[in-house]
Amino acid sequence: MRRVKLGIIGVGEIGTVHATNIVRDVPGAELTAVADLRVEKARECARSLGVTKFYARTEELLADRDVEAVLICTTPESHAQILIAAAAAGKNIFCEKPLGLEPVEAEKALARVEAAGVLLQVGFNRRFDASFKRIKEHIDAGKLGTPHSVHIISRDPEPPGKEYYLLSGGILLDMTIHDFDMARHLIGDEVVEVYVAGSTLIAPWLAEHGDADTLAVILKFSRGAVGIISNSCKAVFGYDQRVEVFGERGMVSATNPLPDTTIIVNGEGHRTPPLFHFFTERYRASYAEELRSFVDSVANGTKPVVTGRDGLIGIQIATAARTSLRTGSPVRL
């Protein structure tokens, strides 16, 4: 069986996670080349994983005829531009979220991808988490009847650094966009209105950019269901990721997984292991699973599970949410 030859553009934290997974956990793929503006970083990543090709420029990797598909893992402000270049080079594409910092930017890139006839999968990895997939299976099997609400708790262990933040598009586009996608994925309907209340209780400098570190989001769906998202940029106890869906026949939920199941009981009470610290630990398996799905789509020419349209809708909701945060009013999509 042939293996899909992949190249990675950007080998920072998430790019390195993907590179490692391709080599170790995606048997249908071969990591052929990596590229990073920090060429020493590219060289180090390639050497550690036994890859012979590394580049300092995106254009060099896109010109490599051995590379069939690329993973875009650079900082968010560059995604749309690289999407257009990759499509022009005829490469199938996996792109980390967001596709762009504004809807019009993402729409332009998607039009070029569609015109080129290449595949595009967006990196909403939480759809591939085993527990969240199980929730979706219960909903699709009708075990809840009609879904009435979804409640998502998503809290990071620490706020973003200023340097990264200025390239990310803000909290809603960088962090909450995952929750927007998960909410519409589980409910199976589109968001028609969003309202956001937020404060800067952790990183006051975010207020200078009209942003917040503590958010409560209310979503209204076209068929009447509602969504509630609770975000924080600093959970001192670890990476907090929980989901509950409630419907006419009951509810289904998923709580935080733990590194192990040991419980210490003594005079101080019951103690369990701490939560996983951050996304690279908590979602390690889902990152490998989403790449296996992408490689399968490329190998068989099938539609990716998470499409470019899904990525665009996430940006549209995040943009409306940003307006709501700054105006204090609900915003229709």
List, as one string, the DSSP characters of 250-293: EEEEE----S----EEETTEEE-PPPPSSHHHHTHHHHHHHHHH
Paired with 230 in beta bridges are 153, 216
The reported pLDDT for the residue numbered 25 is 97
Assess contact for 150 and 139: CB atoms under 8 A: no
131 shares a domain with 119: no
Both 68 and 193 in one domain: the answer is no
The span from the CA of 87 to the CA of 172, in Å, is 27
DSSP β-ladder status, 191-199 and 331-332: antiparallel
Q: Among candidates 48, 68, 88, 81, which has minimal Cα distance to 8? A: 68
Same domain, 75 and 185: no
CA 300, CA 167: separation in Å to the nearest integer? 35
Question: What's the CATH number where 31 sits?
Answer: 3.40.50.720
At 166, which CATH number? 3.30.360.10
CA atoms of 151 and 292, how far apart (whole Å): 29
**Together in a domain, 141 and 274:** yes
* 219 close to 191: Cβ distance less than 8 angstroms: yes
Tell me: do 88 and 192 sit in the same domain: no
Identify the domain containing residue 49 by its residue range.
4-125+287-306
Per-residue confidence (pLDDT) for residue 2, from 0 to 100: 81
**pLDDT given for residue 158 in this prediction:** 95
Query: Among residues 154, 156, 143, 113, which one has the least CA distance to residue 311?
Result: 113
Query: Do 132 and 114 share a domain, yes or no?
Result: no
| Rounded average pLDDT per 10-residue block, the chain, 333 residues | 92 97 97 97 97 97 98 97 98 98 98 98 98 98 98 96 94 98 98 98 95 98 98 97 98 96 93 94 97 98 97 98 98 97
Overall number of domains in the chain: 2
Residues 63 and 133 in one domain: no
Q: How many whole angstroms separate alpha carbon 3 and alpha carbon 191?
A: 38
- The answer to whether residues 140 and 74 belong to one domain is no
Same domain, yes or no: 113 and 148: no
User: Cβ of 209: how many Cβ atoms within 10 Å?
Assistant: 13
E strand spans, 134-274: 147-155, 191-199, 214-221, 226-232, 240-247, 250-254, 264-266, 269-271
- The strand pair at 147-155 and 226-232 is best described as parallel
User: What pLDDT is stored for residue 1 in this prediction?
Assistant: 61
Domain identity same for 254 and 196? yes
In this prediction, residue 91 carries a pLDDT of 98
